[in-house]
């Protein structure tokens, strides 16, 4: 599915916030937990540390500070939010939704609130959904949250997954603005590849003695990721009438530095335009792109008029890209 911005309302991000747990799990500690080494992890993933939620911390606990910072950054109050979309595969519980829990904790009493599950692509799907609701006039101001606490569903004896993932969340306020904003989205899914990254036994489908841990075919996921990051980005840019030379900031899903390097080279974008923080956070799933977006903002890399390209991919198998002309302004 691909779409470009309509001729009606112009929608953009007006507030941004993120949060990660306090505990840092570095490669040296992993060496004491599983059969691995810092050298092995760095060579294959580029990850040197990741954040891990405390036993008592759930998804809403990690997401709440990110939401509060995004609201403060936008200069709006929670009561002014009428749509809250929470992208996650690790909700507090099956129901009520973590989105509804967050809306209550924030004081967004009248907001429509729900969870969205699209693996690591969740934040991109949520941006597109919020855009559609705002552009169509069904909502006036949205809070989009992406985050996961994957440490809760990992096999801590499996080095192939344990070294990759971390916990964290990011949130953005979206609303109509006078200029700039989102230019288009490209989304897709290949359910046939779902068995390469899945959590059997976590739903209504019966499995004999499921472990309820993340299962991943690393080779197949790597092949999918290196292809789809480039394909999705190029498809969207072509539809929007821009080239990679027009892109000022590229934010790919932070899964693995080798995947990011491959996409960067294939797209032909200079490395200095690419945001990379996987070394500090690991793969935070739906939290990956908003965390990287927050880093880019903190580093002064997001300036008015600059073109930002974001591309995610993950379980499903899913993918999604967005083009955004960055503008930090109050609502129109």
Is residue 19 annotated as a catalytic residue, yes or no?
no
Q: Would you list the domain boundaries of the chain?
A: 1-332
- At 2 the pLDDT is 63
Q: Write down the pLDDT at residue 330.
A: 44
Q: Is the pTM of this model over 0.85?
A: yes
Q: Give the pLDDT confidence score for residue 211 in this predicted structure.
A: 82
Characterize 317-328 residue by residue with b for buried, 16 or more Cβ atoms within 10 angstroms of its Cβ, and e for exposed.
Answer: bbbbbbbbbbbb
Of the candidates 73, 253, 256, 262, the residue annotated as catalytic is: 253
Beta strands in the chain (DSSP E): 2-4, 11-19, 23-26, 49-52, 83-87, 112-116, 142-149, 167-176, 181-189, 197-198, 215-216, 249-252, 307-314, 318-325
What pLDDT is stored for residue 3 in this prediction?
Answer: 63
Instruction: Write the pLDDT tens digit of every residue in 173-200.
Output: 999 999 899 999 999 999 999 999 988 9
> Rounded to an integer, what distance in angstroms lies between the CA atom of residue 154 and that of residue 212?
9
Q: Is 206 a catalytic residue?
A: no
Candidates 120, 196, 256, 262; catalytic one: 120
pLDDT in tens, 220-249: 999 999 999 999 999 999 999 999 999 999
Q: What is the CA radius of gyration of the chain?
A: 19
Give the pLDDT of residue 45.
Answer: 96
Distance between CA 135 and CA 5 in Å, rounded?
9
Q: For domain 1-332, give the CATH number.
A: 3.40.47.10
73 is catalytic: no
Per-run averaged pLDDT (10 residues), the chain, 332 residues: 68 97 98 95 96 98 98 97 98 98 97 98 98 96 98 94 97 95 97 93 86 91 96 98 98 97 97 97 98 96 96 97 84 38
């Amino acid at each position: 599915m691909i779409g470009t911005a309509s001729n009606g309302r112009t929608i953009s991000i007006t507030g941004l916030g993120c949060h990660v747990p306090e505990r840092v799990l570095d490669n040296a500690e992993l060496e004491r937990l599983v059969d691995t080494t810092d050298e092995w992890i760095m060579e294959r993933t580029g990850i040197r540390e990741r954040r891990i939620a405390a036993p008592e911390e759930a998804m809403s606990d990690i997401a709440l500070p990110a939401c509060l910072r995004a609201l403060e950054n936008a200069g709006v109050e929670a009561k002014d939010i009428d749509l809250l979309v929470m992208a996650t595969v690790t909700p507090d519980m099956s129901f009520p939704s973590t989105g509804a829990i967050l809306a209550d904790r924030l004081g967004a009493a009248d907001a429509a609130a729900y969870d969205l599950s699209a693996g690591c692509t969740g934040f991109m799907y949520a941006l597109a959904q919020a855009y559609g609701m705002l552009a169509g006039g069904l909502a006036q101001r949205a809070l989009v949250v992406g985050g996961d606490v994957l440490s809760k569903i990992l096999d801590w004896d499996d080095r192939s997954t344990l070294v990759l993932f971390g916990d964290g969340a990011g949130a953005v306020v979206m609303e109509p603005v006078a200029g700039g904003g989102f230019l288009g989205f490209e989304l897709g899914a290949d359910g046939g590849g779902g068995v390469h990254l899945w959590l059997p036994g976590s739903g209504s489908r019966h499995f004999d003695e499921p472990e309820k841990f993340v299962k991943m075919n690393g080779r197949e996921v790597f092949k999918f990721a290196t292809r789809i990051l480039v394909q999705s980005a190029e498809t969207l840019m072509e539809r929007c009438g821009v080239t990679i030379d027009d892109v000022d900031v590229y934010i790919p899903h932070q899964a693995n530095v080798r995947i990011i390097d491959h996409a960067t080279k294939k797209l032909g974008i200079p490395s200095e335009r690419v945001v990379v923080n996987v070394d500090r956070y690991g793969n935070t799933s739906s939290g990956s792109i908003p965390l990287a977006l927050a880093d880019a903002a903190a580093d002064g890399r997001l300036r008015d008029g600059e073109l930002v390209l974001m591309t995610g991919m993950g379980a499903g198998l899913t993918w999604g890209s967005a083009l955004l002309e960055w503008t930090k302004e109050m609502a129109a």
